[in-house]
Amino acid sequence: MQPIVNNANFGNGQNRPKFKELVIQTVRLIPYGKVASYGQIAAMVDSPRAALQVGYILHDYGDDGKTPWWRVVNSKGFISTKCEEHTKNMQRDLLESEGIKVSSDLRIDMEKYRYIPTIATVSK
C-alpha cells in the first residue's frame, strides 16, 4: 500500500507533523459508516509496522471530540480494545449507531465496511 499521508506531503522542517499528528489526521478521514484497521492507518502514514502504536495514540488522544477512534478495529475486523474508558461495548454501540453491523463476537465485515481512501479524499 502506498502511503496516503506522509511527511513529504507537508513540506520540510518544522512544518512536518509528527507520527502522532499524522495518525490523528488520518483517522479523522475515516467517514461515518466506515472502519479501518490499525495496520491500515499505520500503512497510510508510511509506517506499516506501527499498528500497535496507532492503538496507543488513539487511546491517549482519541477523546478530543474530533477523532473517531471507534472506527479503527483490528486487521480481522474485531473490536479489540482493552481500555476500561473505551470499552468494547462502547465501541460496538458507536459503530452500530453509524449503521455498521457488529456480530455477537464483536466482528465487523471488513469487505463491506472498510474505508478505502481516494486521492481526492486525502487532498482535502
Cα dihedral 47, 53, 58, 64 in deg (nearest 10):
-80
> Which of 1.10.10.10, 3.20.20.70, 3.40.470.10, 3.40.640.10 would CATH assign to domain 7-122?
1.10.10.10
Tell me what the mean pLDDT of segment 54-65 comes to: 88
pLDDT tens track for 65-93: 899 999 999 999 999 988 888 899 999 99
CB of 36 within 8 A of CB of 28? Answer: no
pLDDT tens track for 30-40: 999 999 999 99
The label of the residue with cell 465487523 reads: 108
Q: For 64, which DSSP code?
A: S
Cα dist from 14 to 3, 61, 77, 97, whole Å: 21, 21, 36, 39
- The model's pTM is 0.83
pLDDT tens track for 5-31: 555 444 444 555 799 999 999 999 999
